[in-house]
Chains A and B, each alone.
Chain A
Amino acid sequence: MAVEEKEMPWVGRSVKRKEDDRFVRGGGNYLDDIRLPNMLHMAILRSPFAHARIEAIDTSAAEAVGGVVAVVTGELLAQHKLAWMPTLSGDTQAVLATDKVRFQGQEVACVVATDPYVAHDALELIDVEYEPLPVIVDPKKAVEDGAPVIRDDKEDQKDNRIYHWEAGDKASTDRAFSEAEVVVALDTHYPRSHPAPLECCGCIADVNPATSKTTIYMTSQAPHAIRTVFALVTGLPEQNIQIISPDIGGGFGNKVPVYPGYVVATAASLLIGQPVKWIEDRTGNLASTGFARDFHMHGELALKRDGTMLGLRVGMLSDQGYAYADAQPSKFKAGLFHVVTGSYDMPAAHVVTDGAYTNKAPGGVAYRCSFRITEASFLIERLVQNAAYELGMEPVELRRKNFVRPEQFPYTSVTGFVYDSGEYAKALDVALEKSGYEQLRAEQERLRAEGRLLGIGVASFTEAVGAGPSRDYDILGIKMFDSAELRIHPTGKAILKLGVKSQGQGHETTFAQIVAGELGIPPEDVTVQEGDTDNTPYGLGTYASRSTPTGGAATAVVARKIREKAKQIAAHTLEVSADDLEWEGDRFYVKGAPEQAATIQDIAFAAYTNHPQGMEAGLEGVTYYDPPNLTYPFGTYVVAVEVDAQTGEWKVRKVVAVDDCGVRINPMIVEGQIMGGLTEGFAMSAMQQITFDEDGNCMGSNFIDYLLPTAWETPAFELHATVTPSPHHPIGAKGVGESATVGSPAAFANAVVDALAHLGVRNIDMPLTSGKVWEAMQQARSS
């Protein structure tokens, strides 16, 4: 008989999301819902040019408009040493341009007014004289000798190169290639995309002139880190800064960095003495805030004829725009891109990465991915499919032959990762069976004979998420631990305060379930508080699938500490020795006398009313959790598409996703994350890109050009799970928020390429628009 939902343990139960009640009733509290007394409104003037010298800015006409309180320019900020600010990668970025504008959409001036309409009207009256300069949009051209230097504001910068970073070992990789019987190469561009959260960025800065207390309501995924950065940038004492992230309408990495609007609004509030609200519009969001990807990748895989992988060689040039503004661990210049050996037992690998400045918006953030893992996963999974064609092998058999095997874990990869656990072949097998893979292949044969194009694409991805162990992971020097503070109230209810910050991931439910699992306090009795730096312990925030691996682990650990204390209290109230007590779900009972028991609620009451002499009263604790390792979720996705041989359009027939993220705390929430990620993976492969013309005009700055899929075109997803617990996480969980964005683009691209593989097609860069698919077919037919 099936276990009744209500008898199931709390961890593993699809509890309905506690937060949805307020969201579905329109009762959320988003940034733009907040209105403070005497609040002013700020609007940003952006550069129409991608590269130009600013000759003069005349703000007099704008200042004369009734209702305009201030017009802020870079020159004014420079007087306060605020014209430039650090990025999260240790580079600098202009708050408001002083010398030059370096991308189209760059912030040039701000108007602060009593009304947002007035602010926008006044923007039009600011007269900026620009002297256009040559524009560089191609990173390959940017790094050529003699290219105009974009960051001439930086004294030591003599070219457009940002970083050069290598991982793995060149000598052993060269050896592997010299021994190879087959070498397969792939050049591909992972296009610039954008997280495009439905809520754009914004803030309300409220500097109280009487107390100097600075409260900033902000759409931030990482409020604590932002507070510290603000203290460092502005010189304000950190105890006077309070960052409050209210409900956030999606982040996906876009809301990790510090943006110019935040800084100007704060400076304006400080100077004016009134709260200043800045709400970004869609074009501002798409054209100026953290983009993602934009990696030009070259991969080579060395194999034996029998399919054994010998080595991997990767070269990558990253188009960073005009500032290196990734939010990523400082030790790794191209994020965790070097996890590019993927799910395979690769004897040798050498990864060479370079970053280049171009006249584009700065970035790039990890859009729903753990620091550039998306690009890595895409490259290896595309390469493996092409290698299979070259070898005449079935692509899934080539994968299976080279998977890291279960007995090899913990597995140290040649680029320096220690994979915690995995059963890659098992996930693959489930995916093959559930998708009817063999039948699909047979159908493909049959349809090809009729001239119809069915393609089947597979991706067997592995991620490295949950940064991170402090020995390797920090952002601007701040170690990437995370924290939990748990307070049990006398009535047995609890509040859990975390350093991470939900943007829709369901933290209020998932983390309450962890508490419930450890202490037996039902999730509805546990309030989860996040986002207010005055009222939560320090943490690095939510991105890179890190909340459950770090904040979730901290929650379990702090709950266990509290359980230990609860045991002492129970021993006192039950008048037995603590050694005679046994824990069961939500109570301690006396061994051999189960009717003598104290529930967690009894114990909580006693902690404040009848605690043992010599023990501190109360039942609460704080934990800072430094994970011993990353977690390594994995899975296999199978996608089948049919391509229209005349138009190049493709329709998804089937998507089967098998995810292994270890123990699933709330399977429904996990599935929601996977469906969202698959939707975004589909979008990136099918339709999304931000391109620029040769003058640096951004061609993706609204939703007519930058496409978001709707329920109409998004395919149906069939989800399955295998469960391989993380051996080092307190409850065996791994991160999952990004698995599907990381793993699925290659599966979609592989499927479309597979449909045309018999024609000789080996690559179509994302997005695989019908036009590009058609061109690929034309070329194949004519060659």
Chain B
Amino acid sequence: MFPRSFDYLAPESLDDALSMLAEHGEDAKVLAGGQSLIPLMKLRFAAPDYIIDINRITGLGSVHENGSLSVGALVRTHDIERSELIRRRYPAMAAAAPLISDPLVRNLGTVVGSLCHADPQGDWASVMLAMNADIVCRNGAAERRIPVSEFVQGPFTTTLDPTEIATEVDIPDPGADTFGTYMKLERKVGDFASVGVAVHLSFDGRKVERAGIGLTAVGPANIKATEAEQLLAGAELDGGTIARAADLCAEAADPHSDLRGSADYKRAMVRVFVSRALNAAAAGKAA
């Protein structure tokens, strides 16, 4: 690969990284897993003068619960795939991780990096929309929290400041009785999504207490299917409710036709996946 030439900076602390970023601003890019940034540099679509590699910074690599779940900026998709805690408590995340690309990409690519990259075909943003997660960012000494639903703006666009570093994604406690899954239509194993659907449900007995649904690759950004979420909140998962929720998600989708399929097809697949997910949840309740 032949990117344009750049200076490589490797700060050892978050403060150093932030001051470098403050100095170079738009001329610099943070490098996390590099699985999106480096392909762009290879094509010379991105040509930053400075690369600020955050991989030597300690304290950004942990996944831990403390009232909520914190996933640090250097947590790799592979770490999520292998985490016992995630498997037990956050099934939508556990389902999504192994569907992201191949082991080579998962070993390096980070969850937070995926959110910052804001590719409408990225899978993590849908999962985080479904889980109502927040991004935590630092700018110099200042810290702010941004709901993922506000953070992701459009294709490859977020509300992140050029001088800001996202330090973690913070996921609310899903409760004791949960259901979650991620379904992805792909042309081959490891492909980006043609359509993806993340579903997270917290139950109170037979009733859905809180529902989260995120849609991948069917709009200019990942979509939070709020109307379907509202319909499901407080409802029981009967056939009619499931069909209605699936319809609302299909309506929320705004896909375009391409080689992967027509807009009608993609919308129909949103409906199929949402109803498959909710039916699986209902079957789990019935069992």
Binding site for B on A (CB under 8 A): 43, 116-117, 120-121, 124, 646-649, 687, 689, 691, 699, 704-705, 707, 709-710, 712-713, 769-772, 774-775, 778
- Docked-complex contact A649 and B260, CB < 8 angstroms: no
With A121-B5, A712-B190, A775-B262: A770-B185 Cβ-Cβ less than 8 Å = yes
Q: Give A43's nearest chain B residue, CB to CB.
A: B2
B141 interfacial by beta-carbon distance below 8 Å: no
- A687 touches which of B5, B44, B188, B268 (Cβ 8 Å): B188
- Docked-complex contact A647 and B192, CB < 8 angstroms: no
A689-B259, A710-B102, A775-B262 known; 4 other A-B pairs, CB under 8 Å? A121-B4, A709-B188, A771-B194, A775-B261
* Residues of B with C-beta under 8 A to A707: 187-188, 191
B189 interfacial by beta-carbon distance below 8 Å: yes
B272 interfacial by beta-carbon distance below 8 Å: yes
- Docked-complex contact B189 and A699, CB < 8 angstroms: no
Give Cα A699 to B260, complex, Å: 12
Give Cα A117 to B3, complex, Å: 8
- Docked-complex contact B185 and A710, CB < 8 angstroms: no
B269 interfacial by beta-carbon distance below 8 Å: yes
* Residues of B with C-beta under 8 A to A774: 261, 265, 268
What are 20 of the A-B contact pairs (CB < 8 Å)? A120-B2, A121-B5, A647-B269, A648-B265, A691-B259, A707-B187, A707-B191, A710-B102, A712-B188, A713-B188, A713-B189, A769-B260, A770-B187, A771-B265, A772-B261, A774-B261, A774-B265, A774-B268, A775-B261, A775-B262
* Residues of B with C-beta under 8 A to A704: 192
Tell me the residues in window 187-236 of chain B with beta carbons closer than 8 Å to chain A beta carbons: 187-192, 194
- B261 touches which of A691, A713, A769 (Cβ 8 Å): A769
* Residues of B with C-beta under 8 A to A710: 102, 188-190
What is the interface of chain B mostly: helix, strand, loop, or mixed? Answer: loop
* Residues of A with C-beta under 8 A to B192: 704
- Docked-complex contact B272 and A712, CB < 8 angstroms: no
Interface Cβ pair total, 8 Å cutoff = 57
Tell me the residues in window 159-200 of chain B with beta carbons closer than 8 Å to chain A beta carbons: 185, 187-192, 194
* Residues of B with C-beta under 8 A to A775: 261-262, 265
CB distance from A781 to the nearest CB of B (A): 12
Q: Give A771's nearest chain B residue, CB to CB.
A: B261
With A117-B2, A647-B269: A769-B44 Cβ-Cβ less than 8 Å = no
CB distance from B226 to the nearest CB of A (A): 25
CB distance from B171 to the nearest CB of A (A): 29
What is the interface of chain A mostly: helix, strand, loop, or mixed? Answer: loop
With A124-B44, A771-B262, A774-B261: A116-B189 Cβ-Cβ less than 8 Å = no
CB distance from B187 to the nearest CB of A (A): 5
* Residues of B with C-beta under 8 A to A770: 185, 187, 194, 261
* Residues of A with C-beta under 8 A to B5: 117, 121
Tell me the residues in window 258-287 of chain B with beta carbons closer than 8 Å to chain A beta carbons: 259-262, 264-265, 268-269, 272
Give Cα A705 to B258, complex, Å: 11
- B189 touches which of A124, A712, A769 (Cβ 8 Å): A712
**Can you list the 5 inter-chain pairs with the closest CB atoms, starting with the nearest?**
A771-B261, A712-B189, A120-B2, A771-B265, A646-B272
Give Cα A565 to B272, complex, Å: 75
CB distance from B184 to the nearest CB of A (A): 11
CB distance from A639 to the nearest CB of B (A): 18
CB distance from A701 to the nearest CB of B (A): 10
Give Cα A774 to B264, complex, Å: 10
Give Cα A648 to B195, complex, Å: 13
* Residues of A with C-beta under 8 A to B269: 647
CB distance from A599 to the nearest CB of B (A): 53
* Residues of B with C-beta under 8 A to A699: 259
Give Cα A124 to B2, complex, Å: 12
CB distance from A775 to the nearest CB of B (A): 7
Q: Give A711's nearest chain B residue, CB to CB.
A: B189
Give Cα A492 to B5, complex, Å: 57
Give Cα A121 to B191, complex, Å: 31
Give Cα A778 to B268, complex, Å: 11
CB distance from B102 to the nearest CB of A (A): 8
Q: How would residues 1 to 32 of chain B score, 1 for a CB under 8 Å from any chain A CB and 0 otherwise? A: 01011000000000000000000000000000
- Docked-complex contact B265 and A649, CB < 8 angstroms: no
CB distance from A711 to the nearest CB of B (A): 9
With A124-B44, A771-B265: A687-B187 Cβ-Cβ less than 8 Å = yes
- Docked-complex contact A116 and B260, CB < 8 angstroms: no
* Residues of B with C-beta under 8 A to A116: 2
CB distance from B247 to the nearest CB of A (A): 15
Q: How would residues 229 to 267 of chain B score, 1 for a CB under 8 Å from any chain A CB and 0 otherwise? A: 000000000000000000000000000000111101100
Which of B261, B264, B272 has the most chain A CB atoms closer than 10 A to its own CB?
Answer: B261
CB distance from B148 to the nearest CB of A (A): 25
* Residues of B with C-beta under 8 A to A713: 188-189
* Residues of B with C-beta under 8 A to A120: 2
CB distance from B61 to the nearest CB of A (A): 28
Q: Give A648's nearest chain B residue, CB to CB.
A: B265
Give Cα A710 to B186, complex, Å: 14
Give Cα A707 to B259, complex, Å: 12
CB distance from B99 to the nearest CB of A (A): 12
* Residues of A with C-beta under 8 A to B264: 778
* Residues of B with C-beta under 8 A to A709: 188
- Docked-complex contact A649 and B261, CB < 8 angstroms: no
Q: Give A708's nearest chain B residue, CB to CB.
A: B188
Give Cα A184 to B98, complex, Å: 47
Give Cα A746 to B55, complex, Å: 50
Give Cα A775 to B262, complex, Å: 8
With A117-B5, A120-B2: A649-B185 Cβ-Cβ less than 8 Å = yes
CB distance from B33 to the nearest CB of A (A): 17
* Residues of B with C-beta under 8 A to A769: 187, 259-261
Q: Give B261's nearest chain A residue, CB to CB.
A: A771
Give Cα A121 to B44, complex, Å: 10
CB distance from B120 to the nearest CB of A (A): 14
Give Cα A687 to B191, complex, Å: 12
Give Cα A774 to B189, complex, Å: 20
CB distance from B27 to the nearest CB of A (A): 17
CB distance from B263 to the nearest CB of A (A): 10
- Docked-complex contact A647 and B272, CB < 8 angstroms: yes
CB distance from A752 to the nearest CB of B (A): 15
CB distance from A656 to the nearest CB of B (A): 23
CB distance from B43 to the nearest CB of A (A): 8
Give Cα A772 to B262, complex, Å: 9
* Residues of A with C-beta under 8 A to B194: 770-771
Give Cα A687 to B188, complex, Å: 8
Give Cα A647 to B265, complex, Å: 8
CB distance from A79 to the nearest CB of B (A): 29
Q: How would residues 85 to 108 of chain B score, 1 for a CB under 8 Å from any chain A CB and 0 otherwise? A: 000000000000000001000000
CB distance from A32 to the nearest CB of B (A): 13
